[in-house]
Structure 1
Amino acid sequence: MNILMLSDVYFPRVNGVSTSIRTFAQSLARMGHSVTVVAPDYGPGSGQEQHDSDEFELIRLASRVIFFDPEDRLIRAPELRRIMPALAARHWDVIHVHTPFRAHRMGVRLAELTGRPTVETYHTYFEEYIGHYLPWAPAPLLRFVARRLSRMLCHGVDHLIVPSEQMAEVLRRYGVTTAATVLPTGIDLSEFARGDGTRFRIAHDIAADRPTLVTVSRLAVEKNIAFLLQTARRLVAEFPRLMFIIAGEGPDAPRLKRLAHEYGLDANVRFFGNLDRRTTLLDAYRAGDAFVFASPTETQGLVLIEAMALGVPIVSTAVMGTATVLRDARSALISDEDVDAFAGHVARLLRSPELRAQLSQAGPQDARAWSTEGLMTQVVALYQRLAQERPLPRRGAQAAAQQG
């Protein structure tokens, strides 16, 4: 199949959407399909060339910085007009949109020009995110706008992919009636067969017997990392040598670093920024005695699956998409979002080498349920069904539509 993927975000911007797109594209290409990804150009010095791939085509479009979210980019409107004829002239079996901004607009227009079916993945729980980026606007108004916009966008495509049943239920409550398939992204397990925690500890002078927690996340308010810092503050009373590794970058980093200092955790918390996903990030995961996570807004929670695959015991809340990932997991301890309760679960794990070994051994087995191998087969079946339901238009009619 010839598959076009459109997104307003991609690497070097590190988040779950970028990871999901790359996982989809690589997996589909390895299955023999032709994949083209269209994404923003982040400009010189961004390091985006490190994320190019010879497995699928990547087209970068000129973009500008978004004033309230400088990590992200908005594809420039003239670029859309420039690229549209070339994309419309190519043969696509399906158009897969991953984000709701310029990429969505591009996908809907290409569907009109080519007659091809559109799929959109609802990656982000915007109702819970938007208030953190527009704090000056009334919260009820923002929620109303997020719900209304979600309905409009979802009704503009032929089919939705939703990463979890919890998110599908949210969309039903919004009044979305577009056909939807619950289908998580999953991970390529072969990428998580490596990693050396001892190497990471030696490189960063963390003693082998020092109790160590790890989290991997974009540093944003909605990820609830401040709660994890409160948990660490509670734990140092019993574990004064505790080390908390935080891997990731984001707009909340300055506040989180101030909090760590205010909590007296300068010797117990280290911020490592974005680490290389193929090397040092895997080492960082494996350096942990426990992986901790408490985000309430995930549509899936890929980092939990990654921790499972690497055999790192997990302590996490289970809300939205993380509830789906952790539902039958034997590698995790589930906690309420309460500092005492969460700290109690972590302390229990740190006290017991036997419990850590038990959860660690179960992790890779839990992760197998989220392997891309089976999940991508379902994606291809969905693509094929949609393509069959909407046959290619006659060449003459297609050309006329493009000229119009």
Structure 2
Amino acid sequence: MRILIVSDAWTPQVNGVVRTLRTVVQELQDMGKVVEVVGPDRFFTIPMPSYPEIRLAIFPGKRLAKIIDEFQPDALHIATEGPLGMAARAYAIRRKVAFTTAFHTRFAEYLKARTGIPEFISYAWLRRFHGAGAAVMVATQSLREELMARGFEHVRPWSRGVDLAAFSPEPREEWDLPRPIFLYVGRLAVEKNLRAFLKLDLPGSKLVVGDGPQRRELEAEFPEAHFVGARHGAELAKAYAGADVFVFPSRTDTFGLVVLEALASGLPVAAYPVTGPKDILAEAQVPVGALDEDLRQACLKALEIERTACRPFAETYSWRACAERFLDNLVPVNALV
């Protein structure tokens, strides 16, 4: 089976969408599938306004059509709603090719936070974008229900996994900081709601691992917090394991891979009761995290949770199962012909 994935989010970007796609592609290839990802790296790009770390392909339609024609996929998946995603969608409609999409990112909420554009306008466009596909994949049941209530159709579940070999309770980073250590890992951007964490009155230390457009601003505003920049691989795993509580302040993520990475590292989670963390933590038989509209209370509750419960729960999330569900959700390109 030949699978072509078109995504505006791809290496060298570092985010949950890229990590998900890279891991699923590897799993599919291990299963004997022929998989190719078409990302912005194959096109002329410009920096995304207000987020220069992300590059956007410019007028990719003609070259993208040639790539699709040459690859001759059995299934086409459009992972994102950016310039590449729109070009792939236009190609598929023009050629009467069936395709699937995924709802990875709450662009409506992000656009409102950055530009003030009302959410209903963005959701109308997103509904139209995804409505042309045979199915739209989502990571959680609560997001599936929300999108269906907004008029999205053919919404299919597609959960996530965690690399249990990469993230574990040992070895730990021996942070030279007052305990307890409350850790955040992720992009430093407005949509991550990081101020909600950094302004909390908590004992011990606040530790921030990651980079992004808000870093300088947040460092200046919260000098008592410890910003150590982005970490990857073994260094990231040690950073997780060396903390006491993982804090996930985002209200707009559609899943939160970092939540699973923290749990795999033996780290209890504190978060708001929103899509992503509430879906993950609801499946635990014993407490592995705390949800509360008062994030400070969630942090303090999480501090009391037994760390040894976190890893076994994370072990129930498999990337192979994630890849198999993705495969089940795909449709043949000739399904509409």
Same fold (TM over 0.5): yes
Unaligned runs of 5+ in 1: 42-59, 237-241, 350-354, 394-404
For 1:284, the aligned partner's letter is A
Q: Work out the CA distance in 2 between the residues paired with 1:222 and 1:315.
A: 18
> Alpha carbon RMSD of aligned pairs, Å?
2.3
Of 330, 336, 340, the residue aligned with 2:292 is 336
Post-superposition offset of 1:247: 0.9
Contact 1:80 1:106 in 2 (8 A): yes
Give 1 or 2: higher helix fraction: 1
Q: Work out the CA distance in 2 between the residues paired with 1:343 and 1:105.
A: 41
Of 189, 195, 202, the residue aligned with 1:220 is 189
Post-superposition offset of 1:112: 4.1
Q: 1:40 and 1:195, CA in 2 relative to 1: closer, same or farther beyond 3 A?
A: farther
Identical residues among aligned pairs (%): 27
**Normalising by structure 2, what TM-score?**
0.91
1:6-25 correspondence runs (5 A): 6-25=6-25
Contact 2:64 2:88 in 1 (8 A): no
Contact 1:293 1:317 in 2 (8 A): yes
Residue 43 of structure 2 corresponds to 61
For 1:38, the aligned partner's letter is V
Residue 94 of structure 1 corresponds to 75
Q: Work out the CA distance in 1 between the residues paired with 2:197 and 2:296.
A: 11
Q: Work out the CA distance in 2 between the residues paired with 1:74 and 1:148.
A: 22
SS of residue paired to 2:165 = helix
SS of residue paired to 1:273 = coil
Post-superposition offset of 1:64: 0.9
Post-superposition offset of 1:195: 5.2
Of 194, 206, 209, the residue aligned with 2:176 is 206
Q: Work out the CA distance in 2 between the residues paired with 1:132 and 1:166.
A: 22
Higher relative contact order (CA 8 A, sep 6+): 2
Residue 176 of structure 1 corresponds to 152
1:157 aligns with 2:133: yes
For 1:64, the aligned partner's letter is I
Q: Work out the CA distance in 2 between the residues paired with 1:256 and 1:6.
A: 34
SS of residue paired to 1:191 = coil
Unaligned runs of 5+ in 2: none
1:382-393 correspondence runs (5 A): 382-383=329-330, 386-387=331-332, 390=335
Post-superposition offset of 1:97: 1.0
Q: Work out the CA distance in 2 between the residues paired with 1:340 and 1:289.
A: 14
| 1:184-241, Cα deviation, whole Å (9 max, x unpaired) | 12223233248521xx32xxx616x74222111111122121111122xx123xxxxx
Post-superposition offset of 1:35: 0.9
**Normalising by structure 1, what TM-score?**
0.77
Contact 2:171 2:241 in 1 (8 A): yes
Q: 1:195 and 1:280, CA in 2 relative to 1: closer, same or farther beyond 3 A?
A: farther
For 2:335, the aligned partner's letter is R
Structure number with greater Rg is 1
Residue 318 of structure 1 corresponds to 273
1:292 aligns with 2:247: yes
Q: Work out the CA distance in 2 between the residues paired with 1:10 and 1:194.
A: 29
Residue 371 of structure 1 corresponds to 318
For 2:263, the aligned partner's letter is M
Contact 1:88 1:114 in 2 (8 A): no
Post-superposition offset of 1:38: 0.9
For 1:169, the aligned partner's letter is E
Q: Which moved more, 1:164-173 or 1:147-156?
A: 164-173
Q: Work out the CA distance in 2 between the residues paired with 1:11 and 1:389.
A: 30
SS of residue paired to 2:71 = coil
Q: Work out the CA distance in 2 between the residues paired with 1:344 and 1:86.
A: 52
Q: Work out the CA distance in 2 between the residues paired with 1:331 and 1:13.
A: 33
Number of aligned residue pairs: give it: 336
Contact 1:99 1:123 in 2 (8 A): yes
Q: 1:66 and 1:382, CA in 2 relative to 1: closer, same or farther beyond 3 A?
A: closer
Residue 275 of structure 1 corresponds to 231
Post-superposition offset of 1:339: 4.8
SS of residue paired to 1:387 = coil
Contact 1:215 1:292 in 2 (8 A): yes
Residue 190 of structure 1 corresponds to 165
Q: Work out the CA distance in 1 between the residues paired with 2:131 and 2:187.
A: 30
Post-superposition offset of 1:122: 0.3
Post-superposition offset of 1:325: 0.9
For 1:219, the aligned partner's letter is L
1:251 aligns with 2:213: yes
Q: Work out the CA distance in 2 between the residues paired with 1:149 and 1:117.
A: 20
Contact 1:308 1:331 in 2 (8 A): no
Q: Work out the CA distance in 1 between the residues paired with 2:298 and 2:325.
A: 36
SS of residue paired to 1:160 = strand
Post-superposition offset of 1:260: 1.0
Q: 1:371 and 1:22, CA in 2 relative to 1: closer, same or farther beyond 3 A?
A: same
Q: Work out the CA distance in 2 between the residues paired with 1:314 and 1:144.
A: 32
